[in-house]
Amino acid sequence: MYKQQLLDRLTDKHAHIGVFGLGYVGLPLALAFAEAGYPVTGFDIDPEKVDALNHGRSYLSHIPPTRVRDTTQAGFRATADVAEAINLDAIIICVPTPLSRHREPDLSFVTGTVQDLLPHLKPGQALSLESTTYPGTTEEVLQPLLETRGLTIGDDFFLLYSPEREDPGNAQFTTRTIPKVCGGTTTACLEVGQALYSGVVDTVVPVSSTKTAEMTKLLENIYRAVNIGLVNEMKIVADKMGINIHEVIDAAATKPFGFTKFTPGPGLGGHCIPIDPYYLTWKAREHGINTHFIELSGEVNRAMPDWVVQKTADALNERGKPIKGSKILILGLAYKKNVSDSRESPAVEIIAQLKAKGAMVDYSDPHVPTFPKKRDYHFDMQSVDITPEMLSHYDCAILVTDHDEFDYETLQAQTKLLIDTRNRLPKGQNVSQA
């Protein structure tokens, strides 16, 4: 009875959708459901985000304010009141799953959200977790919590796992066009999940279990992390041999089979790639397995900021300047270009190391006007505006994040020394690759 009623409401778009966590994953998803014609409520513990959305303002640089205004005028609203979950048909959880200080999974945001929801759940609802996590989380952690409420999974309540695949700033793909993997705790749960997501996604990819869906997400991101680690290590080797790694990569990419192009950089950043491998390595140890290959790539990637700082020191030394006392400008604080997300950004670690060595460090990022609060770093810094005159005062600039907004001609013409970690700048006497 409950399943068919929910399927009918999802099919005719009368189902009320609630998205918990309105960040880089949750907000685009909430807007996509609203744009598809569903009644949608977004939930977030940050009152500034709630206020911004209800007044038609966007706080994510890749989501235009007009999109928020249009959906708000059409009925989308945000709230911090979890009690409103009683009115929902489908609950989608998109909260962070960071690592602890000991690089172990921290599910406190997920479990805290579900525990807050428990008093307000009712039969006939669906709950889908989208946060990246280790295989078994949905069945081993969430299902027991829900069953304490007296809910029977697959009968009067439907539990899913459908990993997010957002790529902020990538204009080529949207929430609708990125295929959506979905696993259900039972066959009935999967049926509900397919109906839920097919309303906003062109292609839903059903899998046999929530564990399979959880592992799929980890494989996708570990594949990237391992290959980036490989190409970063190749960059170090090529540099020692006097070979341009980017020329090598471009040449290898002409092979029409058996090679996928990955490019080196200053290190990994964002909410997925630096984090997700450790969710699997932690769970694998429970089964007596050591994931040497995955952990080695993590070591390589975590060491890349060290490499950038050393290359900067070498380039300054060639010009008779020590790092101590040098004025250094970091170009880009976000972890990738054209977005405002600085989570796990290698730029932060580079700043920390340079400051520890006595450098006077500023940063410029059109997407991150103020250095955000972080667990391990507390810098009172504001983004500086780039002008030809101000560039002349710096001994060195390090291009960490190659935002399209940067005027690269001016940067190269006016900066005494440029350390390019993204292969964005043409060769020149004042440009050093790192």
pLDDT at 270: 81
Whole-number Å distance between alpha carbons of 239 and 68: 46
Q: Is 213 a domain residue? A: no
140, 44: one domain: yes
Percent of the chain with pLDDT over 70: 100
222, 183: one domain: no
46, 62: one domain: yes
72, 110: one domain: yes
Full domain range(s) for residue 23: 2-208
Structural domains in the chain (count): 3
Question: What angle, 0 to 180 degrees and rounded to 10, lies between the N-to-C axes of helices 210-240 and 292-302?
Answer: 50
pLDDT at 428: 78
**Burial call 196-226: b when 16+ CB within 10 Å, e when fewer:** bbebbbeebebbebbbebbbbbbebbbebbb
Question: For the domain that residue 342 is a member of, what is the CATH number?
Answer: 3.40.50.720
375, 310: one domain: yes
Q: Is 371 a domain residue? A: yes
Q: Is 80 a domain residue? A: yes
pLDDT at 269: 86
Query: Which residue, of 159, 189, 208, is where some domain finishes?
Result: 208
290, 329: one domain: no
Query: Which residue, of 208, 236, 257, is where some domain finishes?
Result: 208
154, 99: one domain: yes
Percent of the chain with pLDDT over 90: 87
Whole-number Å distance between alpha carbons of 387 and 243: 34
137, 13: one domain: yes
Residues 190, 182: contact at Cβ < 8 Å?
A: yes
Kindly give the parts of the chain with pLDDT less than 70: none
294, 369: one domain: no
pLDDT in tens, 174-230: 999 999 999 999 999 999 999 999 999 999 999 999 999 999 999 999 999 999 999
342, 410: one domain: yes
Is 272 considered catalytic here?
yes
Structure tokens at 94: 């998109």
Q: Is 235 a domain residue? A: yes
352, 416: one domain: yes
pTM for the full predicted model: 0.91
Helix (H, G, I), strand (E, B) or coil at 381: coil
Closest CA to 126 of 99, 151, 100, 101: 151
Helix (H, G, I), strand (E, B) or coil at 184: strand
Residues 276, 357: contact at Cβ < 8 Å?
A: no
Helix (H, G, I), strand (E, B) or coil at 205: strand
- Average model confidence (pLDDT) for the chain? 95
pLDDT in tens, 272-287: 888 888 899 999 999 9
Among candidate residues 94, 182, 272, 396, the one labeled active-site is 272
22, 146: one domain: yes
Query: Which residue, of 261, 277, 300, is where some domain finishes?
Result: 300
Q: Is 292 a domain residue? A: yes
Q: Is 358 a domain residue? A: yes
Question: For the domain that residue 229 is a member of, what is the CATH number?
Answer: 1.10.1040.10
CA distances to 142, 200, 433 from 177, rounded to whole Å, are 29, 9, 36
Q: Is 271 a domain residue? A: yes
**What helix, strand, coil percent values describe the chain, rounded to 5?**
40, 15, 45
Whole-number Å distance between alpha carbons of 15 and 87: 10
Residue with tokens 């935002």: 403
pLDDT in tens, 246-266: 999 999 999 999 999 999 999
Q: Is 31 a domain residue? A: yes
